Every structure is written in C-alpha cells, then in structure tokens.
A and B are shown apart, each in its own frame.
Chain A
Amino acid sequence: MSNVNILKTNNKNLPLFLTLGIAFFLLAIVDFCLNNFLNINITSFLPRYINFFTPLIFGVIGLHLIRIEFTGIKILDNLNKNINTSNFNAILSLSIILLIIFALPPLLNWFIFDANISGDTKEACTGGGACWVYIKVWFNRFMYGMYPNSEQWRINVTFIAVLAFTAAGFFVPAKFRNYLSLYYTILLPIISFILIYYLVSGGSFGLEWVETGAWGGLSLTFMVSFFSLIFCFPLGMMLALGRRSDLPIVKYSSLSFIEFWRGVPLITVLFMSAVMFPMFLPDGTYIDKLIRVVVAITLFEAAYTAEVIRGGLQAISRGQYDAAKSLGMGYWKLHIFVILPQALKLVIPGIANTFLALVKDTPLIFVVGLLEVVGMLNLAKTNPEWLGFSMEGYVFAGIIFWIICFSMSKYSQKLELKYDTDR
C-alpha cells in the first residue's frame, strides 16, 4: 500500500482507484448541478477561469482513475471500452453528459411540467412553459386549413378510402401481382382523383362545393405529396431511360429537361406556375392552383428521380443487357423484365431520399397562396388573439414532419433489407 502511484492506475489497488474515481466523478456532477440549478459555487475560492471548468476537471480525474484494463467487472470494462478510452475521449464524453444535464430539465419543464393544456383561451396559459392550448384550439385549422368545420368528415372519409385502396395492393392474390405496378401508377391516381374531386371538392351529390383555396393544413400536405409522389416516379423512369437512349434527339431532350429542373430552385418553379404559366394558356382557360402546383412539383422531383434511377441503370453490368438481347428480347421487354427490376432495387435509398425531399418541400407551396400546415401556422401566428405562440406552433409542426420523415426513412431501410437479394 505504501507505493501507490495515484496517476498510474493498475489492477492491484482496484478498490482504492474505484472509490476515488467514482467520488471525483460524483463530485463533478454535484458541482455542476449546484452551479447551474441552485447557483451555489462550492469552488468559488479558485480563480474565475479555473472555477468555470472545475466540473470538467474533477470528472476527467475521476474517469482517469477508473480507466483500468481487464478488471473483470463487466460494467466497468464496457464503460472504459465505449466512452472512456483515453483522456481526450473522457473530456468529450463528460462534456456531453454535462450538456444533457444542463439542457434536459429546462426542456422537460417547457414541454411538460410548466406547460398548460386545459382550457380554451389564451388566459388559460399561466405557466412559464409551452401553451399547448393554442395547438388544441387551432388543431382543426392545422389539419384541415380553412375547410368548413361541418364538412371535415369528407376529408377523413376520402383519406381512409385512399388508404384502403393503397393498402389493397398488398393483399391481392399472387395471380395479379404482375399488374400491381399498373394499378399503382394508373388506376390508383384515377380513383384517388375521382374521390377527391367528388368528395373533398364537392359540388355534386348534394355536397357543398369547397374551393381549393380553402383547403389546407396537414391534409393538403398529404394530398400534394401523394399525387406528386405517384406521378413523379413513372415520369422519372421514362426520363432516365430517355437519357440513356441511343437516339440522339431523345437523349438530349431528356438531358436538357433533367438539367433544367435540377438547376432551378423549387420556389422559382412555383413562382412560374403561379404568375408565368397562366400567360401561356389560351385566354379564358383556367387551371386550378392546386393542380398547377402538383404538376410543378411533379416535374421538379421527376428530374431528381430520373437521376437516381439513372445511377441504378448504370450499375447494371453489360452482361445483363447482352444476355437479355441474346434471348431475343426487344428494348421494352429487356428493360421491364431484366434491367429495371434490378436497377430499382439498387436505388431504393436514393428514391426514398427523393421522396423525403418532396415531402419536406411541400411547405413551399405557400408562395402561391396555398396554406398547408406551416402556412397555417404563420397565419395563426398573426391572429391578434393568439400572439406570441409561434414557438409552440413550430415545435408542433416540427414533431409532425419529423415523425413522417423518420418513419419513411426507416421504412425505406427495411425495404432495402427485404430486397437485398445479393449473393
């Protein structure tokens, strides 16, 4: 016991090092908590510039002392291997732990403990935290826009129906599997369009007509994304094939189409659809704003999809083409049965990214005056009765989008695994 070198840890004096190390580590945490939450500084006798870093210094000493290899204690070995491999790593780990301790309580307070959710007026918000009453009161607006309250069941019914038709594709008997892509690219859009036209838009069957300007909120986000998604995929595929075609005119017109849409920001495309496009139509014809927007987004995203698919096509080896040709397959047969199934499988992550980008781009339609969920937030924010709750609104919308996008990306990862048929 007499010649213990405090700086050189070893296995022999394990209990001593462990107690000292844990003590120092706890001291660091306690010091930090006291500094931040109770405004008590137990190390105030030290100079200011050292004083500020005392939790870090204590913590690193503590972590250094418990950095002992092959102790046989499972937790300790795991800890050392994962967050405490060197002094530098110890500093980084400790900074993150302290940051979490620093940030978590105020966040939790704001989100839950000091937040208000009961009541229907602004006055109900008395706590210092978030005012979820605001979200509660405006919830219908955020979901359905300016759509009349009494008619909102129509949107719900349409969505459930479209969802059912989409899901139906998963349950068809194996006999019809081959026609599934046709169903999704041609039949489903037509069915959905008819549903939306007669149910959401109304005007016949005794349903009140609701103009597209009144549509909005999250339901509009879904509608725009849904149609753009369905249309941009086949279009992108044609463009990708066109770009790799042997026919010079087809090739260069596809190429310039793709490069054009990829070169401009979506916001200018939407500007174009809003102010420039009506000039290009015969006098008196009018195309609904929503349709113009969907077409604009479709063309824009199709160019990106085309580039992604082209990447997949390029990755297919020449042998596949040669083999298919030697079986006597023509251009279309070759692509539909041999090349595309392999190429599309390769580009699932890329396609998923493009679709995610599309969903994240939909809020931009505010430039043409369509208010989906982010647009509705900005409108609600300016309401004189509910001033000063923009934070809650953005956090709410952020959570919604995050859930949508995150689950989409997780689903694409699952698909990728499912179709990973590599040797």
Chain B
Amino acid sequence: MKLKKILPQLLTILFIVLIFGFFTMNAQDNMDTRGIEFGFGFLSKEASFDIQFSLIDYDGSHSYARAYLVGLLNTLLVAFIGIILATLLGIVIGVARLSPNYLIRKTASFYIEFFRNIPLLLQIFFWYYAALRALPTPEAATLLLGSSFMTIKGLFTPAPIWINFDVFFTALVIAMVLIFFFVRYSNKKQEQEGKQLPTFIISLAIFMGLPLLTFLVGVVDLSFSFPVLRQMSLSSYTFDGGMGIPPELIALTLALTLYTATFIAENVRAGIQGIGIGQKEAAASIGLKRGQVLKLVIMPQALRIIIPPTTNQYLNLTKNSSLAAAIAYPDLVLVFAGTAMMQTGKAIEIVGITMATYLTISIAISLLMNWYNQRIAIKEK
C-alpha cells in the first residue's frame, strides 16, 4: 500500500531531476565551448539602440534595464487600453445578443462569429498592412473634429499641457477615496435603516467637483498644443506638436479589442442567461423597480458568473499583446527578446526574464482571482 503511494512520486522526481540535470549540464557545456558567461550583468550596460515609441525618457545611452522597462510599459499600455475598450464593446455586444430585436441579435452574433474565427495575427496584419496603409499621407490628411489628423503615419491629436498636474491628480485621488468611503457609508445605512441615498449622483458630483475646484482656485491650468504640418524635405511631411499615436499601436489595439470583445460578449451573455427568470419575477413581485432589480438582484448574481472567465480573457489579451512583435510595435517581446537578445546574445537570461515577467503578471492576476472567487462564492450551509 505504501509502495503504491511512494513509487509514482519517486518516479516523478527522478524524471524531473533527470531532465533538468540533462539540460543544465548541456547548457553549461555549450556555454563553455562558446565562451558565453551566464549572468545578468549586461542589464546595466548601455543599450545603444533606439526605440520608436516610449512612455518614459529613453535613448540609446540608457541601460538594457531601462529598455526592458520601456518595453514592459508599452506592453502594459496596450493591455490597459485594450482591456477597457474590449470590456465596453463586449458588454454592448453581449447584451445585444439577448435583445428581443431580431436584427440586433443577428448582427451581434454575426460580429461574434466573424471575429472570433479569424486568427488574431491575421487581424493585426490586416489592420496594419492593409487597412491603415490606405490612409492618406500627412500632407493630404483632412482635419478630424477640428483638431486631429488620421494619417498613414498614425493619429495626431492635440496634446494636453498641464500646469501643476500633480495637484490635479491628487484631487482626483482624494475624490476617489471620498467616493469609496461614501459608498460604504451609504451601503451600511441601507442595510441598517433601509434608506437609499442617491449614491450615483453624489459620487459623480464628488468626482467632477473636486478636480474642477482646482481649476477654479487657479492652481491648475490646462492648454493644448495642436499638431501643425511641417515639411521635412521635398516630398516628406510630418506633424509638429500635439501627440502622435503610432499606427502600430492603433492596429494592435484595434485587433486585440475586436477579437477579445467577442469572448467577453459571450461571457456576458452566459452570465445574464444564467440567472433564472424566477429571480427577476420574485424581485419584481416584492415591489422593486426595474433599475433596482437589475442593480440589486440580477447584476450581483450575473457578475459571479461573468467575472472569472472575463479575467481569463484579460490575461489572454495581455499575453496576446506580445504579437506586437510581428508589426514592430516596441513591446516587451520585440524590445527585449528581439533587439536586446540579438545584441547581447544572452538567449537564456533574456528569454528567462521575458517569460518570468509574463508569468508574474499571470500568477498575480490568478491569485487575485482566486481570492475574489472565494469572496463572492455562494456560502452554502
């Protein structure tokens, strides 16, 4: 009986140790014969390559570690924008799939079937190489909304110029904290006395009012710098001032959003469908209004079904953003596992760091998810 328990475990250990031992021994041998040394010292060395698009100060004289940070931030930027847009679109499409209107329902399912069955990479290529390449050159571009230009070189929009941005930001944070406490207070009050405060309106007032106050006091000021066309050479034009969003970022965000939204939409649909009609009827029969039914009865239950798979989709989106490397958007994979590896030749270290980074993000979100799942799980007696 004991042997039956120990033997498989011993075999597993033996197998793992053998494989790892074999690999490390070979790696040691290979590196010795090729004169490569294992180590992370290269991170502090000068990177001496440029990155097209960066959120923080960076040029060739900065270190590899800094280049890594630039790549990581670019990845997180795409993931962040993509997650927000995909969620909004996904909710709209998911609700539309349950619409009583035949046309809306069919359009939504057409959208889902269309975008989820085409490889993401193909979609990224389509937007980048086919759709965005059809846009006009900077000198031929027309004005959009009186301020922006959509060109083959990307989207050029007015850039905000802040005075005392930190004051504004602090006001924003304070407003959020206030709202948090206010919502807790009103929930408590409702549970104790059954009174409902107009939570949403008051929260909105705090959120808008406090930052606006900083403008009125006169500490904070905001102006815009508009993009202006400039001739670089005889046939080459560019825009000065303003904010330039590179076409790679646009194509990537577009493809990721449209693709991931199909999955989120299905989650939303499943969540809403998962709530029995009896719940709605019961809530209505005790006199709750339509909005209250949705807010107090349907949503808390539907979210329990929707959120776990949707978080998985967020994770997928973040991991899929690594396809950026295919259209040369400087994300973590392109900057670090691409350019930096070519220059240093430190394959093991760099691929290791890149994988560890993604792994950390994934595991962090997984842990958060498990914690959330336990919190909202139905507590059965």
Chains A and B are bound partners: yes
CB within 8 Å of B: which residues of A?
82-83, 85, 89, 92-93, 96-97, 246-250, 253, 259-260, 262-268, 271-272, 275-276, 279-283, 356, 359-364, 366-367, 374, 377-378, 381, 390-391, 394-395, 397-398, 401-402, 405-406, 409
A97 CA to B100 CA, complexed, in Å: 16
- A267 to B325, Cβ gap below 8 A? yes
Contact of A364 among B107, B323, B352 (CB under 8 A): B323
Q: Interface readout for B249-278 with A: 1 if CB under 8 Å, 0 if not?
A: 000000000000000000000000000000
A248 CA to B379 CA, complexed, in Å: 28
Query: Across the interface, which residues of B come within 8 angstroms of A360, CB to CB?
Result: 117-120
Q: Which of A89, A378, A394 has the most CB of B within 10 A?
A: A394
- B121 to A374, Cβ gap below 8 A? yes
- B103 to A394, Cβ gap below 8 A? no
Contacts A89-B101, A280-B26, A381-B129; A366 near B31 (Cβ below 8 A): no
- B351 to A275, Cβ gap below 8 A? yes
- A406 to B122, Cβ gap below 8 A? no
A382 CA to B357 CA, complexed, in Å: 34
Q: Interface readout for B104-127 with A: 1 if CB under 8 Å, 0 if not?
A: 100100000110111111100110
- A276 to B101, Cβ gap below 8 A? no
Query: Across the interface, which residues of A come within 8 angstroms of B354, CB to CB?
Result: 268, 271
Please classify the interface of chain B as helix (H, G, I), strand (E, B), loop, or mixed, using the class held by over half of its residues.
helix
- B103 to A268, Cβ gap below 8 A? no
- B107 to A259, Cβ gap below 8 A? no
A97 CA to B29 CA, complexed, in Å: 68
Query: Across the interface, which residues of B come within 8 angstroms of A262, CB to CB?
Result: 362
Query: Across the interface, which residues of A come within 8 angstroms of B341, CB to CB?
Result: 275
Given A360-B117, A363-B121, 19 other A-B contacts at CB below 8 A?
A: A89-B101, A89-B104, A96-B107, A247-B5, A259-B363, A264-B362, A266-B319, A267-B333, A271-B337, A271-B354, A276-B347, A282-B29, A283-B29, A283-B33, A367-B326, A374-B119, A390-B125, A398-B122, A402-B114
- B119 to A394, Cβ gap below 8 A? no
Q: How many A-B residue pairs have CB under 8 A?
A: 154
Instruction: Say yes or no for B322: interface residue by CB 8 A criterion.
Output: yes
Q: Which of A97, A271, A363 has the most CB of B within 10 A?
A: A271
Shortest distance in angstroms between B1's beta carbon and chain A's nearest beta carbon? 12
Q: Which residue of B lies closest to A253 (CB)?
A: B12
**10 nearest A-B pairs in the assembled complex, by CB-CB distance:** A263-B362, A405-B117, A265-B319, A82-B102, A263-B359, A249-B9, A265-B322, A360-B119, A280-B23, A391-B130
Query: Across the interface, which residues of A come within 8 angstroms of B322, CB to CB?
Result: 265, 267-268
Query: Across the interface, which residues of B come within 8 angstroms of A390, CB to CB?
Result: 125, 129-130, 133
- B114 to A249, Cβ gap below 8 A? no
Contacts A268-B333, A405-B118; A279 near B358 (Cβ below 8 A): no
Instruction: Say yes or no for B16: interface residue by CB 8 A criterion.
Output: yes
- B113 to A406, Cβ gap below 8 A? yes
A394 CA to B5 CA, complexed, in Å: 55
Contacts A250-B9, A268-B351; A378 near B125 (Cβ below 8 A): yes
Instruction: Say yes or no for B13: interface residue by CB 8 A criterion.
Output: yes
Q: Which residue of A lies closest to B114 (CB)?
A: A402
Q: Which residue of A lies closest to B318 (CB)?
A: A265
Query: Across the interface, which residues of B come within 8 angstroms of A391, CB to CB?
Result: 126, 130, 134
CB within 8 Å of A: which residues of B?
5, 8-9, 12-13, 16, 22-23, 26-27, 29-31, 33, 99-104, 107, 113-114, 116-122, 125-126, 129-130, 133-134, 319-320, 322-323, 325-326, 333, 337, 341, 347-348, 351-352, 354-355, 358-359, 361-363, 366
A246 CA to B114 CA, complexed, in Å: 44
Please classify the interface of chain A as helix (H, G, I), strand (E, B), loop, or mixed, using the class held by over half of its residues.
helix
Q: Which of B31, B126, B351 has the most CB of A within 10 A?
A: B351
A265 CA to B319 CA, complexed, in Å: 5
Q: Which residue of B lies closest to A359 (CB)?
A: B119
Contacts A280-B26, A381-B129; A401 near B13 (Cβ below 8 A): no
- B16 to A253, Cβ gap below 8 A? yes
Shortest distance in angstroms between B334's beta carbon and chain A's nearest beta carbon? 10
Query: Across the interface, which residues of B come within 8 angstroms of A267, CB to CB?
Result: 322-323, 325, 333
19 chain-A/chain-B pairs, Cβ below 8 angstroms: A247-B5, A249-B13, A250-B8, A260-B359, A263-B359, A264-B319, A265-B320, A268-B322, A268-B333, A268-B354, A271-B333, A279-B26, A279-B27, A359-B119, A360-B117, A364-B323, A374-B121, A394-B130, A409-B117
Query: Across the interface, which residues of B come within 8 angstroms of A401, CB to CB?
Result: 117-119, 122
Contact of A263 among B130, B134, B363 (CB under 8 A): B363
Query: Across the interface, which residues of A come within 8 angstroms of B348, CB to CB?
Result: 276, 279
Query: Across the interface, which residues of B come within 8 angstroms of A92, CB to CB?
Result: 99, 101, 103-104
- A279 to B31, Cβ gap below 8 A? yes
Query: Across the interface, which residues of A come within 8 angstroms of B23, CB to CB?
Result: 280
Contact of B125 among A281, A394, A406 (CB under 8 A): A394
Q: Which residue of B lies closest to A377 (CB)?
A: B125
Query: Across the interface, which residues of B come within 8 angstroms of A378, CB to CB?
Result: 125, 129
Shortest distance in angstroms between B340's beta carbon and chain A's nearest beta carbon? 12
Query: Across the interface, which residues of B come within 8 angstroms of A268, CB to CB?
Result: 322, 333, 337, 351, 354-355, 358
Q: Which residue of B lies closest to A364 (CB)?
A: B121
Shortest distance in angstroms between B353's beta carbon and chain A's nearest beta carbon? 10
Q: Which residue of A lies closest to B337 (CB)?
A: A271
Shortest distance in angstroms between A357's beta carbon and chain B's nearest beta carbon? 9
Query: Across the interface, which residues of B come within 8 angstroms of A264, CB to CB?
Result: 319, 355, 358-359, 362
